Amino acid sequence: MMTNGIIVIDKPKDYTSRDVVNIVSKKLKTKQIGHTGTLDPLATGVLVLTIGKATKLSEVLTSDKKEYIATCLFGLDSDTLDITGNISKNEECILTKEEVLNALNSFKKTYNQ
């Protein structure tokens, strides 16, 4: 029996999108499964899986507009530029609200993915 449909997963931290696809693929006993966008292993959040005939809907389900919510640690530096690397700098960092808003606003632009 072929399974067709869409599953919305709350992807946990430390799993790749491919890991989630592999797990669901084994549970549903199908290889015809995909996802509508990759989430970094450190990221948590919505991962939409398409199964069977629904894999043809991936393009329709992929939104042109996305929103990201992040947590930042100021004053840290690592060899991977994220929290998974070896910390090479850990300094107290005091920023004004204006400095934080200016930095955040500098990311507001259109990106092609």
DSSP three-state, residue 11? strand
Active site residue 40: yes
Cα 78 from Cα 31, distance rounded (Å): 38
User: Hey, what are 91's tokens?
Assistant: 């300094």
Cα 25 from Cα 61, distance rounded (Å): 20
Q: Which of 40, 77, 79, 82 is catalytic?
A: 40
Cα 10 from Cα 3, distance rounded (Å): 20
Question: Among all residues, which ones are annotated catalytic?
Answer: 40
